[in-house]
Structure 1
Amino acid sequence: MTTVLITGASAGLGAAFARGFAAKGCDLILVARDTGRLKAVADELAAAHGTLPEVLPADLLDPEQCRAVAERLADPARPVDILVNNAGFGLPAPFPYSPVEDEERMLDLLVKVPLKLTHAVVPGLRERRRGAVLNVSSVAGLLPTGTYGAAKAWTTAFSESLRVDLAPYGVRVLAVVPGFTRTEFQERAGMDVSALPDSVWLDADAVVARALKDLSLRRPLSITGLRYRLYAQAVRHLPRTFVARKMARDRRPPAQAPEQAQNAARPEAAR
């Protein structure tokens, strides 16, 4: 039986990954901060698929709790076959307007945590010569979009490099690169996305279905939707200075003093 550990599994893409892997008959380990919501997801999956997932509540920004998850991943007596690094949050204001402590927390969760968890699971995968790591990135990583985009660019590059390193051992690595997806991520981050047309939005289950298909095909990246695949191709050919200026204009808080924007930038938006 394949065992899958998913971070940020209480909602959004994490819960969608849980549904997708449960439908394939996998055993699940669900990780998130909110114990009540995590148990609710586990109960729903048990009712739908007949297997109760293991619930592992953890705030991954707490070193001790993150270490506990890493130890679970490295436990040879209870091997984990697939790791899904999905936990994350965003900030409502651009870098110059956000408290540096919030920027550091976001960078830790988007970069340092998946680095640690991947490092914990890889030795077992390599020894068993099978398994996979899925890292949830973002199309924001294709553009110069502040700390969040920079972190997601790291996620994609890290995944592509790791994929080459682990290929001789039969271990697959996939960077999942979604666009705007209908989850509570934007609302919890305090982002105003009301002006976005319906055509840009993706369904979380569709993103996961595409990712699982791309994983089975051993592709390096998974991008859902023709719009976003074309977008990914186009941005590679645009002048970086032009793109950076355009993104900076889009991100600037209108008619808002830096002090006001800082007060608004309190993140509690873990996926």
Structure 2
Amino acid sequence: MNNSINNRKTVLITGASSGIGESFAKVFAEKGFDTLLIARRKERLEKLAQELTAAHGNVNLTLALDLNETDAIQKVASFLKKRRLHVDALVNNAGYALPKPFMVGSWDEHKAMINLLITVPTALCHLVAEGMKEHGQGWIINVSSIAAFAPEFPGSLYNAAKSYVLHMTEALDLELRPFNINCMSLCPGLTSSEFHETMGVKEFLSYIPKWRWMESDIVAKEGYEGVMRGEHLLINGKVNRALVNAFKFMPNKIKYLMGKKQIIL
């Protein structure tokens, strides 16, 4: 498929087989984009692609790939080159949190999480940004989290990684905005998806009331609308925005004590 010939726009979405990534695929397809869906679970990807094509008549390609493979970015690049495929929009959504303190988890476990949350999205931005510049248009959504603003959790590197995504995205937006490329950091809070179940903390978070959770479809819809408006940062939901504002003005000593007591707001 050569979308430079048929004038259709294509979005590349990582972590597309479930949760926020799947919801982004539905939103972009509904808006007329073709999609390239990347995740590890081939059957889930193919099922989603078929559903999107049946619903919207667009083209939906899939690439079953573990982005923590050492040559994962090269495989994505080869896939795009082979199909002469230009990426108009990128959604870096793939990720997870390691539910172990720093000294409990092995270095290989920590390294894999850091790679997926930091190196992979940065590399994919670098991979597609030049083509966006040449075409004079592009949209990049990097999924961060309100965790980027929150108190630390003992031994967890997740907040630090999401803080990197937040700042990296802003830096890219400052560079690429003059070329009509909008880069936005999306910061959801608690979202109903498989994320917490995969982490093994779903039961631990069960005490949090339902009104604190957002649906992934709403998160993705707000994300799409935000990047199309030209936002460089979007925090999903009024409650989450209030929390982030509170964190910004909270003395570091108080944040440290909250982290020490493992208080989740």
Normalised to the residue count of structure 2, the TM-score between the two structures is: 0.90
Question: Could you tell me which of 133, 157, 170 is aligned with 2:180?
Answer: 170
Give the alignment partner of residue 155 of structure 1, picking from 151, 165, 168: 165
Query: Percent sequence identity over matched residues?
Result: 36
Q: Which amino acid aligns with 1:166?
A: L
Higher relative contact order (CA 8 A, sep 6+): 1
Tell me if the contact between 1:59 and 1:66 (Cα under 8 Å) persists in the aligned partners: no
Given candidates 25, 33, 51, the residue that maps to 1:18 is 25
**Deviation per residue, 1:22-51 (Å, 9 max, x gap):** 100100000001111111111121222122
Structure 2 CA distance for aligned equivalents of residues 251 and 57 of structure 1: 37
TM-superposed deviation, 1:251: 7.3
The RMSD of aligned alpha carbons is 1.7
Residue correspondence of structure 1 range 3-152 to structure 2 within 5 A: 3-72=10-79, 77-145=84-152, 146-152=156-162
| Secondary structure at the counterpart of residue 250 of structure 2 | coil
The reply to whether residue 240 of structure 1 matches residue 261 of structure 2 is no
Cα 1:188/1:170, change in 2 over 3 Å: same
Quote the Cα distance in structure 1 between the aligned partners of 2:96 and 2:180.
32
1:205-258 Cα offsets, whole Å, 9 max, x none, are 111111111112111111111101111111001011321221232179xxxxxx
Deviation of the 1:129 alpha carbon: 1.3
- Helix, strand or coil: the match of 1:150? helix
- Alpha-carbon deviation of 1:133? 1.0
> Which of 209, 212, 231 is the matching residue for 1:197?
209
- Give 5+ residue unaligned stretches, structure 2: 1-7
Which residue type is aligned with residue 145 of structure 2? S
Distance in 1 (alpha carbons) for counterparts of 2:79 and 2:125: 12
Unaligned runs of 5+ in 1: 253-271
Give the TM-score taking structure 1 as reference length. Answer: 0.88
Tell me by how many angstroms 1:16 deviates.
0.3
Q: For 1:63, what is the secondary structure of its paired residue?
A: coil
Q: Distance in 2 between matches of 1:91 and 1:8?
A: 16
Letter in 1 for 2:187: V
* C-alpha spacing 1:97/1:245, structure 2 compared with 1 (3 Å): farther
